[in-house]
Chains A and B, each alone.
Chain A
Amino acid sequence: RKEVEQDPGPFNVPEGATVAFNCTYSNSASQSFFWYRQDCRKEPKLLMSVYSSGNEDGRFTAQLNRASQYISLLIRDSKLSDSATYLCVVNIPYLYNFNKFYFGSGTKLNVKP
């Protein structure tokens, strides 16, 4: 079983729509969580860290559900420029003082005019 699983999509939504992605993780010892955005043929860029209490940055809201072992990303009022692949990342303890990063395969979002 993969450490991190995401629906690959694509999610095709009109401008202004609200869209939500979920990401599930298998290791209950996972300690930190992130969402990255990757544009076509570019490097991934950190979108937000995900905290236990949930966090919001403008139109973007991230939530963590430890009991069900998933994180979510909500995008409100979608813009054309939100079209990208969204990567879920989980940080799991590895060796005595290191954590290891696991990347999901990404969810593709297409925002249409």
Chain B
Amino acid sequence: EAGVTQSPTHLIKTRGQQATLRCSPISGHTSVYWYQQALGLGLQFLLWYDEGEERNRGNFPPRFSGRQFPNYSSELNVNALELEDSALYLCASSRPPWDEQFFGPGTRLTVL
């Protein structure tokens, strides 16, 4: 069974630009979660999608947005990039409501 995949692996942008990160969940999983992890810090919850709908949002500004497609893949968009957006962005998938989350390898975003 293929795991969660994310692309790109690395992304380098400059301040003010926009970034798009992509995630494909494990087959059969309908929920996709996005997390931000700055260097040396814990996971910060960003967004949760299930069946194409946003179910919950973390404490992040509106320039962080996303969507989930009919095939359950998802993308995270970050507009007006700031230096502090540099982090590892992790995507996870699960089958609600009980099952555990499985993570992809992440996208490392660097904002210069």
Chain A contacts to B: CB under 8 angstroms: 31-32, 34, 41-46, 49, 87, 89, 91, 93-95, 97-101, 103-106
Sample (21) of A-B pairs whose CB atoms are under 8 Å apart: A32-B100, A42-B105, A44-B43, A46-B101, A49-B100, A87-B42, A87-B43, A89-B101, A94-B55, A95-B55, A97-B97, A98-B50, A98-B55, A99-B96, A99-B97, A100-B48, A101-B101, A103-B42, A103-B43, A103-B45, A104-B42
Is B18 part of the contact surface with A, judged by Cβ < 8 Å?
no
Which of the residues B45, B98, B104 comes within 8 Å of A43, measured between beta carbons?
B104
| Main secondary structure on B side of the interface with A | strand
Which of the residues B56, B88, B103 comes within 8 Å of A100, measured between beta carbons?
B56
Contact A44 B96 (CB under 8 A): no
Contact A34 B96 (CB under 8 A): no
Nearest chain-B residue to A33 (Cβ)? B100
Is B90 part of the contact surface with A, judged by Cβ < 8 Å?
yes
Contact B42 A99 (CB under 8 A): no
The residues of A that contact B56 with a CB separation of less than 8 Å are 94, 100
CB distance from A23 to the nearest CB of B (A): 13
**Which chain B residues in 54-100 approach chain A with CB under 8 Å?**
55-56, 88, 90, 94, 96-98, 100
CB distance from B101 to the nearest CB of A (A): 6
The residues of A that contact B101 with a CB separation of less than 8 Å are 46, 89, 101
The residues of B that contact A103 with a CB separation of less than 8 Å are 35, 42-43, 45
Nearest chain-A residue to B104 (Cβ)? A43
The residues of A that contact B88 with a CB separation of less than 8 Å are 41
CB distance from B66 to the nearest CB of A (A): 17
CA distance A103 to B48 in the complex (A): 14
Which of the residues A43, A93, A101, A106 comes within 8 Å of B105, measured between beta carbons?
A43
Contact B96 A97 (CB under 8 A): yes
